[in-house]
Structure 1
Amino acid sequence: MKALRWHGKGDIRCDTVPDPQIEQPRDAIIKVTSCAICGSDLHLYDHFMPGMKKGDIMGHEFMGEVVEVGQEAKSKLKVGDRVVIPFTIICGECDQCKRGNFSVCERTNRNAELAATAFGHTTAGLFGYTHLTGGYPGGQAEYVRVPFADTTHIKVPNGLTDEQVLFLGDIFPTGWQAAVQCDIQPTDTVAIWGAGPVGQMAIRSAILLGAKQVIAIDRLPERLSMAKAGGAITINFDEESVIERLNQLTQGKGPEKCIDAVGMESHVSLRQPDTIYDRAKQAVMLESDRPHVLREMIYVCRPAGVISVPGVYGGLVDKLPFGAVMNKGLTIRTGQTHVNRWSDDLLRRIEEGQIDPSFVITHTVGLEQGPEMYEIFRDKKDGCIKVVLKTS
């Protein structure tokens, strides 16, 4: 089969590799029909995340058709079923899964000891996302082996296109969880840093959850235009002070709820000298992540407010003003997404027409064009916001 594989920093290739096989009784084999390049994939592309090995198959946002089912998965899946596969691999039986904390499943990371060394405890196995999370082959391929497939899937009803449901595997529930974590009230202003795919989903989620005012912060015209179309007030951080504008929009009080949809690679700007400091430390391996957005959120968030962090961080950050967090009484909520906690509700909202997540797609190409699309997506060329790859 064809698959996109990591061969080093900035080096993704479309290679021919062996087809996956059933290895465990709860496995299934999925013939991929659509997959996507995620902003989190760019952390791997640029090698900011540790744990990648040459030849790893990329991708954690994919869907397709069941073509083979292991013996113990046959009660939940059958050949021909159309499914979206969450990026979090879940057993459905451990204490964390029973609580709905699926992204910290205790049993699916086959490199649990390595993860525990890095993070203190293991987290769930993830598709296509480093050996810290199990080293599972990803979904930017023609076929994928899905472990724990009886629980790690979302069935797709008839009548919905791939484009409508594909993002149930990651960015839609990620944006939704980011907003839910804010405990949004009807009087709230919600400020969202980053108007990429997750930020766009967070904007629409915050509006669906009843926020009084949603503000999107970015610098790219196409992203800001999409955010505005979704109902957000926009701030271009290259053209004006984010803190001054947010204070203006909130009568000097600051937003009650702040969402970091950027993560470890915040943009370097001469208007934000701390980003230059972070980039320099990152270059000499004295810091792994660039936390400008976190600093700015902590500074501007209203006292007793909530900071929600769906943006991915991989390691160590510097100069984080934790004194402000404590003295202002801020609540910080983070985490990889508990996809299956939200999937039934979000699928219903798609079916009812409350939201069509396909709005975010700007580029649809074949899988073999994936390597060049990684560069286009990373460098924000050609107005690229979200890339969908088709396998046939």
Structure 2
Amino acid sequence: MTLVLDKLGLARNGEVHLDGVSASFERGSLTTVLGRTLAGKTTLLRAIAGLQPIDSGRMERQGCEFGLLPPWRRDVAMVYQQFINYPHLSVFDNVAFPLRQRGVPDAEARSRTETALGMVGLSDFRARAPTALSGGQQQRVALARALVRRADILLLDEPLVNLDYKLREQLREEFRGLLTSQSDGIVIYNTTEPAEAMMLGDRIVVMHHGRILQAGSPKEVFERPANVAVAGIVNDPPMTILHGRLEDGRVTFGNDVGFPAPKHMDELSRGSYRFGIRATEILPSETGGVIGRVEFSEVSGSETFVHVVTPLGEAVMQLEGVHHVLTGSQMRLSFRPERLFAFNADGEGELVRAPTTGEY
């Protein structure tokens, strides 16, 4: 039973939130919607849940106008970025609440509630009040309350964002099984983090400024981003994009930087392009390449990200390990040409060439 969205449009106060959004979501699938803040992800989920009226377009499921159903008839469960719990009820009663509202027999409600609490690691906290829990634990209460319903459509709006780092990493590994084992329905999961989207989703939908830019498998979207915007969104840090030219078998940037064109660009016409390269494929160099000034560096776990301003534009380099790089210092960078992506120089910068899969 597929949920089909057809050209959904929504604008408020002159600001467009959904711009011709068309997509389909299959039963038994987990789709991650990836996009930056204000991409339209939350608005999309609210529209599906019936909490946000749309201006145009239609939603269809099982041959009926799903968008015309009132929220209480859509069989949708939703977990928000900001957890919502009932402070006067215990953890157990919070999770059991939707089952009791629907008249589920006590024995079944108790069994399903205990199972849900076990899945999110809160069995030992069943008697506590939500206010006695940490923020991450309170979010897990909200998640368990959604899971226990076994709704046809489960919507999750960045549910891990308020959890501590260690728990977040742990739940990421467990989340796919946690969600798909609970239901053969439709699961849609919003995130701003590419790694989370790639890890969890059977399919990724990339949103930007209220539009869907690309939809496909994690492998497809990562290896062949449809345009420059997608290349920025699906990479963390964003892919470095530099303007250059392809001519006489060489890729050139400015007057001084160039190298032989990689094999996957052999059939590409000469001219101007935007060339993209991931942070892991930019390397410190002693000769050649381009010299830039370190704008700043940041350590994230066991990796260091170095932001360098060069005459060609800003580049972000990812180094393994912890490195202390002085702000304002000079650094010479080189690029691995076999890892270059080529995008059109104008318009939305559509992808025209990507490294072959074997080169990854």
Q: Same fold (TM over 0.5)?
A: no
1 or 2, which has the higher strand percentage?
2
Q: Give the TM-score normalised by the residue count of structure 2.
A: 0.25
Q: Which has the higher helix share?
A: 1
> Which one has more relative contact order, counting CA pairs under 8 Å at least 6 apart?
1
